[in-house]
Homo-oligomer: A and B are copies of this chain.
């Protein structure tokens, strides 16, 4: 799926880590939300409220998921899930384009 149709897009960006991570919020007719974002190379820690599906559209990063000691290498076309109310860490190796879906 290369497009999202009939969505509401928030005009202002979400800006984190001094702009090293930015995203746009999409809201669907049924109230579901996704963000489309860009991560510059660097190391970042994120906290979740809802559970998330993180699809990596392009780029490369290592992710450390909650409760895991090791890091997983994730490349464009791959994805990972993050539980609700948790934190996870990423090391972005090359500019990363992502789609984050907030799960019910």
Interface of A with B (CB < 8 Å)? 1-13, 15, 18-19, 22, 24, 26, 36, 38, 40, 57-58, 95, 97, 99
- Give the Cβ gap from A85 to chain B, nearest Cβ, in Å: 27
Determine the chain B residues whose CB is within 8 A of the CB of A10 once the complex forms.
Answer: 2-3
**What CA separation (Å) do A19 and B12 show in the bound complex?**
19
- Contact A24:B8 (CB < 8 A) given known A18-B95, A95-B18, A97-B15: no
A-B interface, 7 closest residue pairs, ranked by CB to CB distance from nearest: A19-B95, A13-B97, A4-B9, A5-B8, A22-B38, A3-B8, A2-B11
Is B11 within 8 A of A57, CB to CB? Answer: yes
Specify which of B4, B12, B99 is in contact with A8 (CB 8 Å cutoff): B4
